[in-house]
Amino acid sequence: MKSMFQYIAAVACVAALTACGGGSKAPVAVVVVQPAFKLTDTVVGTGAAPKTGDIVVINFTGYLYDSTKADFKGAKVESSVDTGKPASPFTVGLGAVVVGWDQAILGVSPVAAMKIGGKRTAILPANLVYGAATRAVPSPNPYGYAAIPANSPMVYDFELVDVIPGIVIPNVPPPTTLKIVDDVVGTGAVAATGKTVTVRYTGWVYDGTRADFKGPQFDTNVGAGKTDLSVVLGGGSVIKGFNDGLIGMAVGGTRTVTIPPDQAYGAAGKDSIPSNATLIFQLQLITVN
């Protein structure tokens, strides 16, 4: 996507071995003092603000943190500004880049999310950027970027160019009572308690994110080589919602029946049917005797 993804994994420890009296000193870890996380708005935007899951387009420039500089900006290590075009769009808040970028763009209380047109400077300790990873000097290196040592805190200038709302899939909760919809009203004999009926059916697990609410199919007796199901209504051979969904149907009719868990398999579930699943059945009544 950009240079920030081109890193070489490294261990953040430098061993200093010195011959002394026939022995050697133990490895000494290099301790890098980390600055506090800080966000500073230099321009407050006036457009839309992103939320987790949205796609953002930004300009950015990254520097090694330098405590001796008034603005804390040391050597430049990467920049979309140098290329003359924004960074590739990415989904914010889901770890698509690094945590520090997500936090800088979405804000951390009391600092609000950036808005389109806004500019923000972020001071990021190493654990919010690349941690113990390192990056050598890029090759080629037309913009003269510096290497990124292990455990480097960073300073970034961000500009929010655009926000593209993420796709939100609605999730409609299932009905809590038996729901019956007649798709085709039959004209033959009517099913009633005590009658023996034959029926063709297909069953799905309810999925509130789908337009027809039909999730994974778990059973069917429709198709070549299948046998019609014979049921004595009220006899207890099928789940209550299936039985009650047939009552009142006329031969030749079809129904869509949505069955809540307490009239299906409840907390136990069955085979590929999960615990507390709402079920949808498409029913076709063939005979009533």
Length of the chain: 289
Is position 60 annotated as part of the catalytic site? no
* Number of other residues whose CB lies within 10 A of the CB of residue 220: 14
Q: Which of 180, 239, 247, 286 is catalytic?
A: 239
Q: Which of 201, 206, 213, 242 is catalytic?
A: 201
Is position 7 annotated as part of the catalytic site? no
For 187-255, give the DSSP string: -SPBP-TT-EEEEEEEEEEE-TTSTT-EEEEEEE--STT--PEEEETTSSSS-HHHHHHHTT-BTT-EE
Q: Which of 219, 228, 262, 286 is catalytic?
A: 219
Is position 102 annotated as part of the catalytic site? no
Phi first, then psi: what are they for 216, rounded to 5°?
Answer: -60, 135
Asked whether 98 and 60 are in contact (CB, 8 A), the reply is no
Is position 55 annotated as part of the catalytic site? no
| Run of H or E including 259 | strand 254-259
Is position 72 annotated as part of the catalytic site? no
Q: Which of 7, 41, 218, 228 is catalytic?
A: 218
Q: Which of 72, 156, 158, 265 is catalytic?
A: 265
Q: Indicate which residues carry an active-site annotation.
A: 201, 218-219, 239, 265, 281
